[in-house]
Amino acid sequence: MLLHIPQIFSAAELAEIRQALNQAHWIDGKTTAGHLSIQLKSNLQLAEGDPLARSISEVMLQRLWKTPQFMSAALPNKVYPPMFNCYTEGGTFGFHVDNAVRDIPKSIERVRTDLSATLFFSDPNEYEGGELIIQDTYGVQPVKLPAGSLVLYPSTSVHQVTPVTKGARFASFFWIQSLIREDAQRTLLYELDLSIQALTQELPGNPALVQLSSTYHNLLRRWVEV
């Protein structure tokens, strides 16, 4: 399942964040690349633990945890601390698959990467190229969202960022360990939850809602991993 969640930040908040990112200290993105991806990766990143990254991440995760669409689709258990990157002057990241497990820096915690997320801080008209290309069961999906919008997709997907030929592409990216490991099961639960919400609006008090809600929670109970 590939999902677009819009407007995590307001226009005023985005302007403030962009000003801070423009003035931030960026390092070579290869410092966090794996053995294979280091040859495919050409971008800039904020250092892990950077105070600016922490402050933006804190607000971002608080917002997402209060976004019903995100919570329903991701069913998050653990989150790898969000990271921030900048693609400019030909910056790119060739086709790759994210590591299955990520060690959280300065922690004994590990995160199984069930879902990958990218939140855009640049509008599409601010840069040329820089599309996030995701290969999924429905084919190749190009993603280039408005600033403040997030894309959520399975970490099993092969994906790339095409070269930025003009301007700068700022974004945050992170990984989620879901309560539900399998994407097909998460998708079924998400679609069922959407149906329950729609029927609750259209037919409040309908007895069928009790059975549908029971089915949802019994499937969740059957598949959940904690």
Pairwise CA distance, residues 161 & 131, whole Å: 6
pTM as predicted? 0.93
SS3 at position 10:
coil
Please determine, for residue 138, whether its predicted confidence score (pLDDT) is greater than 90: no
What is the amino acid identity at position 106? K
Burial class of 27 by CB neighbour count within 10 A (0 to 12, 13 to 18, 19+): middle
Binding-site positions: 96, 98, 159, 169
Domains of the chain plus CATH, in order, are 3-178 (2.60.120.620), 183-223 (4.10.860)
Structure confidence by residue, pLDDT tens digits, 193-204: 999 999 999 988
CA-based max dimension of the chain: 59
Which pLDDT value is given to residue 195? 95
Binding-site positions for Fe cation: 96, 98, 159
SS3 at position 74:
helix
Helix then strand count (H, E) for the chain reads 5, 16
Binding-site positions for 2-oxoglutarate: 169
Beta bridge partners of 86: 44, 170
